[in-house]
């Protein structure tokens, strides 16, 4: 399953570091609130959701191309309890948490009807069949791009056209790892053909299907899920968590953490750099 790519796969580095210095802006939705937002999104317009964890935040600070992708996202939801603990220590504030894994599970369990069109990008055919069987999905469309597909223009086009061919959809789950999933989501928006809500889900499908074992809830609430995953798979995750991960301390010392108040949460709009409390001003479907 291609849902957790190595952190060293980067997009071309372009642009200035100005937006990184302003910091990352999160939407003020927890799991319950955003489940309602996603459930009511509809199929008349297109939007996409990113769920940054610490590794994504580091990439945001270091890679201007990745920041450009986040600037096109409709919603930015905090995926990491550990990051939230750091925000409290370094910035004296907290951010609502809505992890991608919990969100996907909640939508499949509570919001999706059997006849809803669901598009899944990434994961094996067996995983797709497991999802369809577990949630009684009768209209699940699945495409698994080859490893490293984001570097192959034809493979990218094939992926984009598959999603657009099966639009409008209730939800499109992109489970091809970061930054591949954010790049595909942003390209769909640029092309303007897809309709429905796309979610960059990371390892959520792995957890739901049992390919990866998620930490017990008490470990999650202690903000130690990263440690649990490290113990489960040290060879793959040691560099990410022990070498790359500590960079977040330096970045939090010099940048802001912004929370955007949402007065019309059901309306899709791009992420903008905002000061705390700034309201959403984008045009629906822009």
Say yes or no to pLDDT of 59 above 90: yes
What pLDDT sits at residue 18?
53
- Residue 215: partners with Cβ closer than 8 Å, 6 or more residues away: 224, 225, 228, 229
pLDDT digits (tens, 9 = 90+) for 119-146: 999 999 999 999 999 999 999 999 999 9
What pLDDT sits at residue 275?
35
What pLDDT sits at residue 3?
36
**Mean pLDDT for the stretch of residues 15-31:** 75
What pLDDT sits at residue 237?
84
Short-list 285, 254, 252, 256, CA closest to 268: 285
What pLDDT sits at residue 61?
92
Say yes or no to pLDDT of 2 above 80: no
- Where are the domains positioned within the chain? 24-257
Model confidence at 14, pLDDT cuts 50, 70, 90, reads: very low
What pLDDT sits at residue 69?
96
**Mean pLDDT for the stretch of residues 147-171:** 97
The answer to whether 46 and 189 have CB atoms below 8 angstroms apart is: yes
Measured CA to CA, the distance from residue 100 to residue 78 in angstroms comes to 9
Residue, of 103 and 3, whose pLDDT is higher: 103
């Amino acid at each position: 399953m291609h849902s957790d790519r190595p952190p060293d796969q980067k997009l071309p580095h372009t642009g200035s570091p100005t937006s990184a210095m302003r910091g990352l802006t999160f939407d003020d939705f927890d799991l319950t609130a955003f489940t309602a937002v996603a459930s009511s999104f509809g199929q008349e317009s297109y939007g996409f959701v990113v769920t940054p964890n610490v590794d994504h935040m580091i990439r945001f600070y270091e890679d201007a191309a990745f920041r450009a992708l986040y600037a096109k996202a409709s919603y930015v939801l905090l995926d990491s309890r550990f990051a939230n603990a750091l925000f409290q220590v370094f910035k004296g504030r907290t951010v609502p948490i809505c992890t991608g894994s919990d969100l996907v599970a909640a939508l499949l369990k509570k919001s999706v009807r059997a006849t809803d069109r669901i598009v899944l990008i990434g994961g094996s055919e067996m995983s797709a069949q497991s999802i369809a069987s577990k949630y009684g999905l009768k209209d699940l469309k699945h495409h698994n791009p080859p490893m490293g597909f984001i570097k192959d223009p034809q493979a990218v086009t094939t992926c984009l056209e598959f999603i657009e061919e099966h639009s409008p959809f209730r939800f499109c789950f992109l489970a091809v790892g970061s930054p591949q999933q954010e790049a595909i989501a942003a390209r769909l928006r640029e092309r303007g053909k897809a309709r429905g809500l796309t979610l960059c889900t990371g390892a959520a499908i792995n957890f739901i299907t049992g390919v990866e074992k998620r930490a017990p809830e008490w470990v999650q609430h202690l903000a130690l899920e990263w440690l649990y995953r490290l113990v489960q798979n040290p060879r793959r995750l040691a560099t990410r968590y022990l070498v790359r991960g500590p960079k977040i301390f330096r970045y939090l010392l010099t940048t802001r953490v912004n929370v955007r108040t949402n007065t019309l949460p059901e309306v899709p709009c791009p992420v903008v750099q905002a000061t705390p409390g700034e309201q959403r001003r984008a045009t629906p479907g822009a």
